[in-house]
Chains A and B, each alone.
Chain A
Amino acid sequence: MFLRYKRTCLAKIKALDLNPKLRNQRDQTQSLSPKKPKPPKKSEIHFADRAFYYGLKITSWGIIFLLLSMVVLIFKMSWPALHHFGFRFFFNTEWNSVTQEFGALALIHGTLFTSLGALILAVPVGVGVALFLNEIAPRRLAHALSFLIETLAAIPSVVYGFWGLFVLVPWLRQSLQPWLVDHFSWMPLFKGYPLGVGIMAASIVLAIMIVPTIASTCREVFRAIPQSHREAALALGATRWEMICLAVLKAGMSGVIGGIILGLGRALGETMAVTMVIGNRIELNWSLLAPAQTMASVLANQYAEADSDLHLSALTGVGLTLFAVSILVNGGARFVVWRIERKFRGAK
């Protein structure tokens, strides 16, 4: 009895050696174990693990400290200007380095105005792209097109600005804007001269740049909507468009809003493209045709050449404002997207 058992065991061991598949398996298990023949002492492992953990933790705190110092430093640098001008800094439209009078209102206005214009142009397009790719286009076409949309997001902003300056701006100056001035100059939005550069050009370039952001956020949210909602709509005899309205847009509305705010955040902070096409004149103007300046573009234009400490400090104050605005906007977007994701995770 015992002998038979021993024989079968031997046969198994032989089979292990002969069968390449089994042998591989055994070799793998061996190679996975520590290479050192002698396992280290328990306390040693313990020490190494702890050292590794604390190494990671210290690095993490280093990064946190770096970011904290970023906030503190920018605040400290802008303090002289904020102290000198007080709250007037945010309500003064004058920005003059000769008289040393600095107020950020025209810049804030420029940033909000261009970003709003960009949103009005980009939101229908971005949401439309997301719906087309997710709900209408055949899968292969959607794949190819979404690759192109991602490519759009990868192009550096300086190239957008350059293209805007040499292709978009001349077209605006020669074709669109003269026509607008001829027919709509009774509206305050279209008063002025067809310069090409200005708020309109900046809004269009920004819109082009944020369409991929809006589209990809919306697509992700739409993808989180369970397929059965779409099927329920179709099973009721809804057409494709009615299905989109019923099951996709209604359910994904807060996600769409999140995507829009995320796009807004990107538009607010965008620097290079705007700097190149906005015309760089610090004036509070309600016309789309007028040249203007945004918070980001004034930094790009003047920071390296600031001629006094107060000027530099005022510029940093503009930076601080921009910082605060983008954190608020992005925080809002994240909150909205997070909420919708949680909602669907709960529903599943």
Chain B
Amino acid sequence: MNFKNWTYLQRRIINWMAKIVLFLFTFLALLPLIMILFYVLRQGGNVLSWSFLTTLPGPTGSTGGMANSIVGSLVMVALASIVGIPLGIVSGVYLSEYGVGKTANILRFSLDLLTCVPSIIVGIFVYGIVVIRYGFSAYAGAFSLALIMLPIVARSSEEIFKLMPGHIREAGLALGLSRWRVILQILLPGCRKAVLTAIMLAVARIFGETAPLLFTALGNQFYARSLSQPTASMSVQIFNWARSGFADLEQQAWAGSFVLVTLILFMNLATRFLGRVRS
């Protein structure tokens, strides 16, 4: 073949340029992450104090803390988890162990539908079904969070159970265990860690959810006296502070972001660690 030197040079240059451009793209993608973490740490770290975590927000225009929204978030996430996790695992078991046939396909389809629905639509649904009748409440907020978490838990636990090789189930059945015992005593304990990882990721995800809480739990300047009252949450509080227009409240929003981001990143790191232990 007539080999031309300039062609070779050209190819090498293009190769190098492509590599550099791809590297720059990667850097460009990570730049916002670095900037966000930097700003949240610097701005939030300045304001963050023990009293910020333990006091109520002050009246409009004056500083305070976010104790009520931390409590509110924890309560709603806990409520959502109590409903969403078992339901999610149950559907995961159903899909992986009895996952053929019409019911399973419809369920799978509905869960996929729910995954791709924007979270604010879930908020509208809960507004229509709960808030219109009973008003803004922690229940309504938790309900919407549970709906967001359900498909995540269900589909990831389905994948996890499917990874369990079939001969292990058969070994259980061959010992004379009935099917439900195989599922409850062999399958679930065997996948404990992986399922835990999936749950943690789902919980981390709903901790940061804001949109559906805007018109289900609304928000509150004080502690909610009961679960059927409007309840503050960290993400909505940050949103309100950020839009307040007061410089000191904006500072508080940075501190709130600091708390929220730390919490979520910590949970993500923990799942990483769990995953490593498993493998």
Do A and B have CB atoms closer than 8 angstroms in the complex? yes
CB proximity of A74 to chain B, nearest CB, Å? 6
Q: A67-B114, A154-B204, A303-B127 are in contact. Are A128 and B107 (CB under 8 A)?
A: no
The reply to whether B120 and A158 contact each other, CB–CB distance below 8 Å, is: no
A322 at the interface (CB under 8 A from B): yes
Q: With contacts A48-B178, A241-B15 known, is A136 near B22, CB below 8 A?
A: yes
Which chain B residues (117-162) contact chain A, with CB distance < 8 Å? Answer: 117-125, 127-129, 136, 147, 150
A149 to B29, CA, bound (A): 8
Q: In the bound complex, how far is the Cα of B214 from the Cα of A166, in angstroms?
A: 21
| B214 pairs with A56, CB closer than 8 A | no
Chain A nearest CB from B203 CB (Å) reads 12
CB atoms of B124 and A132 under 8 A apart: no
Q: Which 9 A-B pairs have the closest CB atoms?
A: A156-B208, A269-B118, A128-B25, A330-B116, A52-B180, A241-B18, A271-B211, A239-B15, A304-B215
Contact A319 B124 (CB under 8 A): yes
Q: Interface readout for A142-167 with B: 1 if CB under 8 Å, 0 if not?
A: 00010111111011111111110111
B69 within 8 A of A: no
| CB <8 Å contact, A156 and B260 | yes
- Among B26, B181, B257, the residue within 8 A (CB) of A34 is B181
Residues of B whose CB lies within 8 Å of any CB of A are 11-12, 14-15, 18-19, 21-26, 28-30, 32-33, 35-36, 39-40, 87, 90-91, 93-94, 98, 103-104, 106-107, 110-114, 116-125, 127-129, 136, 147, 150, 172, 175-181, 183, 204-205, 207-211, 214-215, 218, 235, 238-239, 242-243, 250, 253-254, 257, 260-261, 264-265, 268, 272
Collect the chain A residues with CB atoms within 8 Å of residue B260's CB: 156, 158-159
Alpha-carbon separation in the docked complex, A317 to B210 (Å) = 21
Q: Cα distance A269–B218 when bound, in Å? A: 20
Show 6 residue pairs from A and B whose CB-CB distance is below 8 angstroms, ordered by the A residue.
Answer: A60-B91, A64-B107, A151-B265, A165-B242, A303-B127, A331-B116
- Bound: A326/B15 CA distance, A: 38
- Complex CA gap A215/B94 in Å reads 31
Residues of B within 8 A of A57 (CB): 94, 98, 103
Contacts of A133 in B (CB 8 A): 26
User: In the complex, are the beta carbons of B33 and A63 less than 8 A apart?
Assistant: no
Across-interface contacts of B11 in A (CB, < 8 A) = 239, 242
CA distance A157 to B36 in the complex (A): 12
Instruction: Name the CB-closest residue of B to A273.
Output: B210
Establish whether residues B91 and A152, one from each chain, have CB atoms under 8 Å apart when the complex forms. no
- Interface status of A15 (Cβ within 8 A of chain B): no
A53-90 contact mask (Cβ, 8 Å, vs B): 1 or 0:
10011011101101111100110010000000000000
Q: A163-B35, A241-B19 are in contact. Are A64 and B106 (CB under 8 A)?
A: yes
* Number of residues from A at the complex interface, CB < 8 A: 86
A211 to B11, CA, bound (A): 29
Contact of A56 with B25 in the complex, beta carbons under 8 Å: no
List chain A residues, Cβ under 8 A from B35.
Answer: 163, 167
- Could you tell me the distance between the alpha carbons of A215 and B26 in the complex, rounded to whole angstroms? 10
B14 engages A49 (CB within 8 Å): no
Residue ID in chain A nearest B125 by CB atoms: A70
User: Quick one: which of B107, B235, B250, B257 contacts A63, CB cutoff 8 A?
Assistant: B107
- B258 nearest CB neighbor, chain A only: A159
B39 partner residues in chain A, CB cutoff 8 A: 163, 166-167
Which chain B residues lie closer than 8 Å to A215 at the CB level?
Answer: 29
Which has the most chain B C-beta neighbours within 10 Å: A74, A77, A158?
Answer: A158
